Structure 1
């Protein structure tokens, strides 16, 4: 139905109301039925008339039409946010507001939109007010979004200490060893244990990457105690905690559900697990392990107060939960694309042979310095992150605690709109990273686009990394702002992911190790990789998502 004028809509609604009224007046118990039926109809009609008849404030962004009050555009957004955003952009422009289960969310698309939301002042656009109800029950009190922004920035600075080049050099070998051990022992790679190298096996790519990710992360960042304790009880705790990190928990944080109770119980036990490790390390004189626990135990806030044990524990939980899904998702998409694109896969393998191969066909251990000299691998990772950023929407709450409301003015090609206090603002790098107005063949996975120094990809990356030297210190050291780039795989601004270098190193080493050992293909009869599953917090591939593999050599 067209909504260019109000007459068709109001005429249709009036006809429906008239028909219902005639039916009810001819039926017994019509008074009660009238009350039951008319109340939602009246709400429904008023919602439509408000959108079609009441004049719109021209200073506010245009609103996306919706039929059902409160629900708004939740279904369309939840099923396929990118399709929803692109369709809305065609109707309303780069800036528009939609209703998400009672919340007013103003979307700002494109590079300007990314800069408006992610480059805004924390006093105006609050990440804490947008996310604390989701993250605090999972991560814990006194960390991340449960503290004022300036404290969170200090905590990010503490984490950066543990992400040192010295530690990275130690991590490369650990990553490689964990992947090798996993492929030799896990049932997903049972063919690896057979003599016939022509046998093909298959595995669920996301299940395998989830296991490899937690093994490699626990061996390095989390520490030897966590790695040695990765048994069924820890996995159960992790799964229960992970069950509280879903879109349902974001929209409805206080439901009396069993999954919420399991989440809270799991957080308590996992917090105690980490604090027990910290206590034992302190009692034994504090070892100098190259992990995050060791780094955090030495840190102090600017006022001289050391990090308390429960803060360290909760930061460790946050690192585990935040990094697990994003890395396993990125690894899954990478393996799927390599299985689909055999030529790229073989180029990646040949790059490993050229840099680390021995005359007998074996490989030398990868090194941190050598890892940084792999252009094919770098392009593969960048292109995968372009097409499959783990998070499709980043929100902030409009609090406007600052004296001026200038930060609420959102520019677009149609003018400048004001976002009211109490709204949420949303940026989507997932849109700008596949925008046909910016990229050539945006939905084609093409790592070679990153090899053109004058191409869109290279220019977007330069803007993201601020190669001209314009760095900003938000309180955790000078970093690239990157908010004006259409390519933002790790976020931008003050909340840019500080673990991006670790994630690159982890993902690159894992993928390289797998490709050294096996060939990958999609299953027979399947030519396309799975679609995106947008019903989870992190964008994963839909099932089935199997990859077939065959050993390259006997090892």
Structure 2
């Protein structure tokens, strides 16, 4: 047990200020397995690749994600989906979502995302300098990284995944509803659910409005008969559970809300981190630009449009995204609740100098306690990664390097498992797992690469950027984002 002065508070404050630093400091004292008190709950942390595998690869008969997260997600996403249903149902819902993430869809999404980036540069107030200096690269403007990328990401996500009706509404009252709904997605609701806080009252009203909004679109589409939309909504409307039951309109609405909220948060954070690092490394930004020129230049200063298949053949762009995810995985702590007394394997308990106190050389985690994995610790471990705290995309270009080996283990591990949404690499033992691993691995992983790659590639064609320094982490939010100020200076390429 990590030492603390106050019984209920425990290590809550220290953990909340900087969880990664807290984990590394505790690991030096206690090894890879230790427990701490978080707002009155006992949390057992298991670090390293073995620790990740213990939590992320755990059986549903032993541990539960639903019991941890439903109080946070259900009031936001809605009833009957994600963590407000049996795990087997969630796996079927992930399969339904996967049907909307086909190659055909990705080809379409790539084009509409590029179109949204161009519209954003032509209309957003932060890019007035860009518009007013069409023939000059002397004038510099600026934009706040996270705030600006959050807006751009919701436009690209709503236009591609969500559908034209949702994209058309984002600029209007939908934005206010989204803001109120997002306001309830806070860490306090994970630890202390059900508090009658003003933000939660607004959240509950917004959830109903947004759910009704989606149901209205679904009903309108059904009334119009067969449509040819290429979006997630169209895909979900044709799905059935294994028992033959169709998805209800309300279930579809709630899955769509979950996709919008989850994808917007994570991609906004990752794109923001990528841009602030690129702004601090003009050499990498220039190399990215040269990659675009080499592959897409028309020879007259213009570029041909990026196709989905192109994104698989841009190694520098790919390295930038992977390195950003290594240093800044959106979620630093992954929790599960123990359903029955759980034995920690001796090899995990004794790693890094840990010393089990029981005579039979085992730890027991009691029923009702929480367990926590932090892939972020593995991804920043100096024992694994050279210069672990330095953002260096070139590490991914070495086919024999640690990064390539970790990626191969994550994506092509020897153990393939079908949890109900298609066979995937289990990936739970890799020191690199930015999208989680096991049965709860993010189903939107491939779309995230399409979205991030298309956004960054189109921005590098248009802008030069710089920043004084990379801002520190803001750990006060559910998703780790850059602390403000995070202003990036830009000028137009001519």
Q: TM-score, normalised by structure 2?
A: 0.96
Q: Which residue does 2:219 correspond to in 1?
A: 279
Return the match for 1:139 from 73, 77, 82. 77
Per the alignment, residue 424 of structure 1 pairs with: 370
Q: How does 1:174-193 map onto structure 2 within 5 Å?
A: 174-193=112-131
Residues 410 and 321 of structure 1: is their aligned pair in 2 closer, same or farther, counting only changes over 3 Å? Answer: farther
Alignment partner of 1:241 is 2:181: yes
CA distance in 2, matches of 1:358, 1:92: 59
CA drift of 1:370 comes to 1.0
Q: What does residue range 166-245 of structure 1 map to in structure 2 within 5 Å?
A: 166-195=104-133, 196-245=136-185
The one of 80, 93, 112 aligned to 2:50: 112
Q: 2:447 aligns with which of 485, 502, 505?
A: 502
Q: Aligned partners of 2:348, 2:132: CA distance in 1, in Å?
A: 61
Tell whether 2:379 aligns with 1:446: no
- Conservation of the 8 A alpha-carbon contact between 1:286 and 1:294: no
SS at match of 1:339: helix
1:94-105 equivalences in 2 (<5 Å): 94-105=32-43
Between the two structures, name the one with larger relative contact order (CA 8 Å, sep ≥ 6).
2
Match of 1:479 among 421, 424, 432: 424
Displacement of 1:237 in angstroms is 0.4
User: 1:113·1:410 contact (CA, 8 Å) conserved in 2?
Assistant: no
Instruction: Give unmatched runs, 5+ long, in structure 2.
Output: 357-361
Number of residue equivalences:
483
Deviation at 1:231, TM superposition (A): 2.5
**Cα distance per residue 1:260-314 (max 9 Å; x no partner):** 1100000000000000000000000041211000000000000000000000000
Conserved? CA contact 1:409–1:418, under 8 Å: no
Retained in 2: the 8 A contact 1:124–1:408?
A: no
- 1:41 maps to none
The structure 1 segments of at least 4 consecutive aligned residues displaced by more than 3 Å after TM superposition are 404-410
What secondary structure sits across from 1:144 in the alignment? coil
1:437 Cα shift? Answer: 1.1
Give, in whole Å, the separation in 1 of the partners of 2:49 and 2:153: 32
1:399-410 matched pairs, under 5 angstroms: 399-400=339-340, 405=342
Q: Distance in 2 between matches of 1:503 and 1:410?
A: 35
RMSD: 1.2
Q: 2:348 aligns with which of 411, 434, 451?
A: 411
Aligned counterpart in structure 1 of residue 329 of structure 2, from 368, 389, 392: 389
- 1:545 is aligned to 486
SS at match of 1:218: helix
> For the structure 1 residues 243 and 112, does the alpha-carbon distance in structure 2 shift closer, same or farther, using more than 3 Å as the test?
same
Partners of 1:162 and 1:410 in 2: CA distance: 41
In structure 1, runs of 5+ residues without a counterpart are 1-62
| 1:261 equivalent in structure 2 | 201
In structure 2, the residue corresponding to 1:488 is in which secondary structure? Answer: coil
- Partner in structure 1 of residue 473 of structure 2: 532
Q: Distance in 1 between matches of 2:58 and 2:366?
A: 15
Deviations 1:208-258 (A, max 9, x none): 100110000011100010011112311110010001001111111111111
Mapped contact 2:269–2:481 kept (Cα < 8 A): yes
1:457 counterpart = 2:403: yes
Q: Is residue 489 of structure 2 the alignment partner of residue 489 of structure 1?
A: no
User: Given that residues 330 and 388 in structure 1 are in contact (C-alpha distance below 8 angstroms), is that contact kept between their aligned partners in structure 2?
Assistant: yes
Q: Deviations for 1:362-412, whole angstroms, at most 9, x for unmatched residues?
A: 000000111110000000000000000000000000013xxx855787823
How far 1:466 sits from its partner (Å)? Answer: 2.0
2:359 corresponding residue in structure 1: none
What per-residue deviation string (whole Å, max 9, x for no partner) do you get for residues 134-160 of structure 1?
Answer: 000000000000000000000000000
Aligned counterparts of 1:446 and 1:145: Cα–Cα separation in 2 = 36
| 1: CA distance, partners of 2:344 / 2:39 | 25
SS of residue in 2 equivalent to 1:391: coil
Tell whether the 8 Å contact from 2:342 to 2:365 is kept in structure 1 after alignment.
no
For residues 200 and 94 of structure 1, the distance between their equivalents in structure 2, rounded to whole angstroms, comes to: 48
Match of 2:12? 74
Say yes or no: does 1:368 pair with 2:311.
no
Rate the CA distance shift 1:393–1:284 in 2: closer, same or farther, 3 A: same
CA gap 1:87/1:242 in 2 versus in 1, 3 angstroms: same
